[in-house]
Every structure is written in structure tokens, then in C-alpha cells.
Amino acid sequence: MDKSRITRILAGETELFRHIVDEHKDRVAGVCFNMLKDANLAEEVGQETFIRLFKSLDKFQFGSSLATYVTRIAINLSLNKLDSNKRRNNRFVGQEEHHQNIGSNARDTHRTLENQELVQIGLQSLKPEARSVVVLRMIEGYSTKETSKLLGIAEGTVMSKLNRALKKMRVTLEKYGLKNE
């Protein structure tokens, strides 16, 4: 079905692209938000994902599903946005000062945080590459094999990155008073 639809879009029936957007928009929105933790940035990157998809349809070779291809674009654009924001933030706030502010704010508010907020804090403690593994495997529900294909890394690397990321999240959450029982 995807092949037929893409062929028709490339032949000029561009209105059919709306169906592709409708089918994949929720997945793209979830991936972008879970990577970026900012609704406005996630919307921006989500829109850019579909623009990039449209522009690259002629390069899609059907070696994987269209869903995998779209998700890969969303992950890459999210990682690019995180890198861009990190560079911009580093110009204004030193890393040491940044970590001190996070720590003092957390001590003041840790009793009012809910579990979902704690997970978000744990995710934010991760480097973008590790965060993408956790988001895909633990939040979006992709298998190790699917995550491997999406990120272009070996399955063993997915497992080791996931293991290290979960340990780091656990350590981070322990600082906020959440103990692993």
C-alpha cells in the first residue's frame, strides 16, 4: 500500500501525502516530545519531519517500513535540535552553574513531583543518544531489533546503551529521593 501511494504522490497526486501524515503524526509527535520535552519544539520538529519526508520520498527504497523511515527522520531531527539547543545554552550558562541550579531546584520541589515528572527528569539526565534508546525501547515500545534499525546501531549496542541509561536514570532519581525497592 505504501509503495503504491508513494508512487502516486511522486507522479503528482500530492494530496495523498495527507494520508501519510495522518497515519504517522501521533507516532512522530510522541517521539519528538519524548526526545525534546518541549511541546513547541516537538511541534516544530514534527512539522520538519514531514517536510523532510515529503522531500525524500523519491529516495525511499522500501527496505524498511515507512513508519520506521518516518521515525528515523524524527529521531535525527530531534537529536539535531538538542545539539543546537545545547550549543546555544552553553554560550550563556556554564555547565557547573546549570547543574547547581538543577540540584537546588530539585531539593526544593522533590516532594511534589509525580512519577511521570521523575521519569522526565531521569530522561533529561541522559545524553541525547542514550535518551533516544530509552524513548524508543521503553516509551514507544519498539523492539531491540527495531530500535537497532532506527538508530543504525547494533542490537548489542542498543542493549548496552539501554542498560547504562537505566542505571544513570536510577542514580539520578535516587538524588531526588526515589529509592529502588
d(CA 158, CA 147): 7
Q: Which amino acid is at 83?
A: D
Q: Which amino acid is at 61?
A: Q
Q: pLDDT tier at 124 (50, 70, 90 boundaries)?
A: confident
Q: Domain map of the chain by residue range? A: 1-92, 96-181
Return the pLDDT at 125: 86
Of 7-21, 51-65, 103-117, the poorest mean pLDDT is in: 103-117
170 close to 180: Cβ distance less than 8 angstroms: yes
d(CA 65, CA 91): 40
pLDDT in tens, 83-120: 776 655 554 444 445 445 555 454 443 443 456 677 77
Three cell numbers, residue 56:
525524500
d(CA 127, CA 12): 41
CATH code: domain 96-181 is 1.10.10.10
Q: Closest Cα partner for 70 from 13, 23, 116?
A: 23
Return the pLDDT at 110: 42
Q: pLDDT tier at 177 (50, 70, 90 boundaries)?
A: low
Return the pLDDT at 12: 93
Return the pLDDT at 84: 73
Q: Closest Cα partner for 132 from 162, 108, 111?
A: 162
User: CATH classification of 1-92 is 3.80.30.20, yes or no?
Assistant: no
